[in-house]
Amino acid sequence: MGEEVFAVKRWSIVIPLFLSSCFDALPHTRYDRVPFSKSRAMRKLGCLELGFASEATGRRTLLDVDIRNLCVEPALVDLNQLRIEAEDESGARHPAYLADPRGEVWPMHVDGFAEGTERIAVDGASGARTLCLDLRRVATVMPPEPTVCMFVASGGTQ
């Protein structure tokens, strides 16, 4: 009788452990990530981690967007929905836009644990000292701080 009770208790522990390892009920996250190397500003949007850096090269301002999915499931990101304001030396702000003459920037699903970098020219940011990015519509998860501002680094000429 004592051995039967012990066997039932043992299986009541083993079976749930086995079943929990078979199902993907909870999103898994990646903990071994390293910070983006060039990013000056970062935001986490649910499973997505976005890093931003900007650089003035000649007459163009370039925006580097580092994208990393920390979960197993694909995550949607839409850089077309990024709203940009450029601030000049006097402190005046005006709208700026991603330059996409060939229509290459479109919504995409970032695979689980995938990461990459997009470098996109910004129209209307010539001479800007600061870029402010509104991330409210970029991903399906609303960030706690929806606006990211960063200084524009001066680079070489093109």
- Each residue's pLDDT tens digit, 64-121: 999 999 999 999 999 999 999 999 989 999 999 999 999 999 999 999 999 999 999 9
Quick check: is 66 in a domain?
Answer: yes
pLDDT at 28 over 80: no
The enclosing domain of 121 has a CATH number of 2.60.40
**Percent of the chain scoring above 90 in pLDDT:** 50
pTM value is 0.72
Quick check: is 19 in a domain?
Answer: no
Quick check: is 123 in a domain?
Answer: yes
7's enclosing H/E stretch is helix 2-22
Quick check: is 12 in a domain?
Answer: no
Per DSSP, 102 falls in state T
Quick check: is 122 in a domain?
Answer: yes
pLDDT at 21 over 80: no
CA distance 102 to 108: 16
| Residue 13, φ and ψ in degrees, nearest 5 | -95, -40
CB 74 within 8 A of CB 112: yes
Which residue range forms the structural domain that includes residue 118? 28-154
Instruction: Report how many domains make up the chain.
Output: 1
